[in-house]
Chain A
């Protein structure tokens, strides 16, 4: 069998499945968002759903909230993850425990983590109770609102909890691949420890750091169940808004739900592009 045909046969089933389910799903969503579905008698495409969505103040508040959630979570998780990777690279008491917990944490479903955060940080949660026991507060309402709150603190805490291990392990693997010698060379040439990190190690780990951050950004931007559980009822994160529109009793809201999902896809698509661009341009190649 010629190589090309063989390659094609090996790939064909996978491409069909992904093509039909993923691209097909996206495509149908696009068509429905512009109201073009000949099968159900819609033959007159229009951008009404987008117009309706984009003229809705709630949409912008949801978009802003979702961007706030993913940008803040990604930044905080990235910084802590780099610190944690630096810590894990060297020996310290408890290093084995941390690396076990990192990996355990990766396998814990987001929803479980979100419930843990809820039980810890809600106004009747463990920290509020601790606050009462040490005499800081008298009743639950005095504890700062960290879940169901306007700043999405609980959601961000959950994402940071889950994504520090993710980014951390990617960066750690990259640091271990680079080894300690580049920094040693920099130190030998006169760099202080911070300079060696800033000028030599950081540029070297940047591709992996940015690539994993891009994945985290896209995930935290589009995940549904965490903001659905830990978020305020108004405004809602964009995926929650999209799902509400999708399940609205008024079927006219459906195209708007599709339009919202397409916007989520577009913004995360930019992240896919960034990821690919970053992983292609590997250092030293």
Chain B
């Protein structure tokens, strides 16, 4: 079990204007899967390469169990990176790919053969050893890449977008496989993904990275329901932000006074509520009458754009409940107080 600490990491690629990673600090809990979530191209892969030792930071430190690993070459770090494109070596068989790390360490051949067989069984590809990587499907290649990484019993496993490019049902299978392998090995795992659903499903903790900074780090439920900033809320598909002022457990806003779920410190703030928490008619305490600007039937739900006094709310309603709601009409919606969350960063 190894915990990983990144401290003030900075890396600027030669010739690049902005730093790829700037003053980044993050603690990755030992023996867990942490999901590093953020939009594509945000420097997440760079962070994995830094931890794996494939890039050297310009500044900052990387420590495993409190001990800096910066002096260690990639092959000595015990942090194995699995690339998004898997990068199975096309010139080698599947078995030679899986056994690669052990071969490089000069382990005896019988041991390598035995471990390769075990690993291929573990990723549900028994008997695939003699095949060539090019003969495998995308999902199978991903599993070989995982086996190849785990056979070396790394201290830290780094997965770069392991689910990208897989179709829906393979994705779930792969998620389950990663979770199961991690449980059985207990290896500290950092998964990079741009997909909030994958992050929530895989990560016991999620670290959200926006504009090169970790903006929130915690259990997935917290990032969904209790976003740290409006930007976090927006990233998780919640555009609702109502400016106003909290005073004595009540939020005063253009929508009228709204009961907060608990006592908040008094002061200005942004009130947010997830679109799917908004109900039609009475419910949960606060009711507001609003004008329907648009309606859109989206299969699993109907999306309403609601206006009142310069405030716009997006609501996702069950299609049945939304039947009869007309564009241009007025509806009464419920904003249940248990679903209200006040963004501490104020009207920004």
Q: Which residues of A contact B (CB under 8 A)?
A: 91, 181-182, 184-192, 195, 199-200, 203-204, 206, 283-285
Judge whether B134 and A285 touch: CB under 8 Å.
Answer: yes
Residue interface bits B111-146, CB-to-A below 8 A is 1, else 0: 000000000000000000000011000000000000
Q: Which of B257-315 contact A (CB under 8 A)?
A: none
Interfacial chain B residues near A285, Cβ < 8 Å: 134
Report the minimal beta-carbon distance from B63 to chain A, rounded to whole angstroms. Answer: 18
Q: Determine whether the beta carbon of B91 is less than 8 Å from that of A188.
A: no
Chain A residues in 8 Å Cβ range of B92: 203
| B49 within 8 Å of A (CB atoms) | yes
User: Closest residue to A192 on the B side, CB-wise?
Assistant: B75
List chain A residues, Cβ under 8 A from B100.
186, 189-191, 199
Shortest Cβ distance from B49 into A: residue = A184
B residues contacting the other copy or chain, number (CB 8 A): 29
Residue contact B75 to A187, C-beta cutoff 8 Å: yes
Task: Give A191 to B99 CA distance when docked, in angstroms.
Answer: 12
Residues of B within 8 A of A (CB): 14, 49, 52-54, 73-75, 79-81, 83, 85, 87, 89-92, 100-101, 103-105, 133-134, 148-149, 152, 158
B152:A190 contact, CB within 8 angstroms: yes
B104 touching A191, Cβ below 8 Å: yes
Seed contacts A184-B49, A199-B104; 8 additional CB < 8 Å A-B pairs:
A187-B54, A188-B54, A188-B80, A188-B81, A199-B89, A200-B89, A204-B90, A204-B91
Give CA–CA (A195, B79) in the complex, Å.
Answer: 18
B149 A189 Cβ-Cβ under 8 A: yes
Q: Please determine whether A182 and B89 come into contact, CB atoms closer than 8 angstroms.
A: yes
Q: Which of B87, B101, B134 has the most CB of A within 10 A?
A: B87
Q: How far is the CB of A124 from chain B (nearest CB, A)?
A: 48
B14 touching A195 by the CB < 8 A rule? Answer: no
Q: B52, B104, B152: which has the most chain A beta carbons within 10 Å?
A: B104
A255 to chain B, nearest CB (A): 48
Q: Are A192 and B83 in contact (CB under 8 A)?
A: no
Chosen A-B contacts, 24 in total, with CB atoms closer than 8 Å, are A182-B87, A182-B89, A184-B49, A184-B74, A184-B81, A185-B81, A185-B89, A187-B73, A187-B75, A188-B75, A188-B81, A189-B152, A190-B104, A191-B75, A191-B100, A191-B104, A192-B75, A195-B104, A203-B91, A204-B89, A283-B90, A283-B91, A284-B134, A285-B134
Q: Note all chain B residues with C-beta closer than 8 A to A187.
A: 53-54, 73-75
Question: Which residues from chain A contact B148 at a C-beta distance below 8 Å?
Answer: 189
Query: When chains A and B are docked, how far (Å) is the Cα of A151 from the Cα of B164?
Result: 59
Q: By the criterion CB–CB under 8 Å, are A184 and B54 in contact?
A: yes
B residues less than 8 Å from A190 (CB atoms): 75, 80, 100-101, 104-105, 152
B103 to A: closest C-beta gap in Å: 8
Residues of chain A lying within 8 A (CB to CB) of residue B73: 187, 192
- Which listed residue, B14, B49, B85, B104, touches A91 by the CB 8 Å rule? B14
Q: Which 10 A-B pairs have the closest CB atoms?
A: A203-B91, A284-B90, A187-B74, A189-B101, A190-B101, A191-B104, A185-B87, A188-B81, A190-B104, A184-B54
Measured CA separation A185–B52 after assembly (Å):
10
Residues of B within 8 A of A188 (CB): 52-54, 74-75, 79-81, 158
A264–B73 alpha-carbon span in the complex (Å): 51
Q: Are A189 and B104 in contact (CB under 8 A)?
A: yes
Report the minimum CB–CB distance from B273 to chain A (whole Å). 44
Q: How far is the CB of A214 from chain B (nearest CB, A)?
A: 19
How near does chain B come to A248, taking the closest CB pair, in angstroms?
51
Report how far A191 CA is from B89 CA in the complex, Å.
Answer: 13
Residues of B within 8 A of A204 (CB): 89-91
Residues in A whose Cβ lies below 8 Å from that of B14: 91
Q: How far is the CB of B16 from chain A (nearest CB, A)?
A: 13
Residues of B within 8 A of A199 (CB): 89, 100, 103-104
A284 and B92 CA atoms in complex are apart in Å by 10
Is A181 a contact partner of B134 (Cβ separation < 8 A)? no
| Bound-complex Cα distance A91 to B13 (A) | 13
Contacts of B83 on A, CB cut-off 8 Å?
A: 181, 184-185
Name the distance in Å between A176's Cβ and chain B's nearest Cβ. 16
Give CA–CA (A186, B74) in the complex, Å: 9
Docked pose: A187 CA to B148 CA in angstroms: 13
Contact B89 A181 (CB under 8 A): no
Residue of A nearest to B14 (CB): A91
Tell me which residues across on chain B come within 8 A of A182, comparing CB atoms: 87, 89
User: Could you say which residues of chain B place their CB within 8 Å of the CB of A181?
Assistant: 83, 85, 87
Cα of A91 to Cα of B75 in the assembled complex, Å: 23
Expressed in whole angstroms, the minimum distance between the Cβ of B145 and any Cβ of chain A is 9
Q: Is the CB of B104 within 8 A of A192?
A: yes
Residue of B nearest to A204 (CB): B91
- Output the least CB separation between B4 and chain A (Å): 15
CA distance A184 to B75 in the complex (A): 10
A206 to B: closest C-beta gap in Å: 8
Tell me, in angstroms, the Cα distance from A190 to B148 when the chains sit together. Answer: 11
Q: How far is the CB of B157 from chain A (nearest CB, A)?
A: 10
- Could you say which residues of chain B place their CB within 8 Å of the CB of A184? 49, 52, 54, 74, 81, 83
Q: In the complex, A189→B152 CA distance in Å?
A: 7
Q: How far is the CB of A234 from chain B (nearest CB, A)?
A: 46
Alpha-carbon distance A188/B49, docked complex (angstroms): 9
Which A residues touch B79, using CB under 8 A?
188
Q: How far is the CB of A238 from chain B (nearest CB, A)?
A: 36
Chain A residues within an 8 Å CB radius of B103: 199
The smallest beta-carbon distance between B192 and chain A, in angstroms, is 14
Question: Which B residues lie within 8 Å of A206 (CB)?
Answer: 91
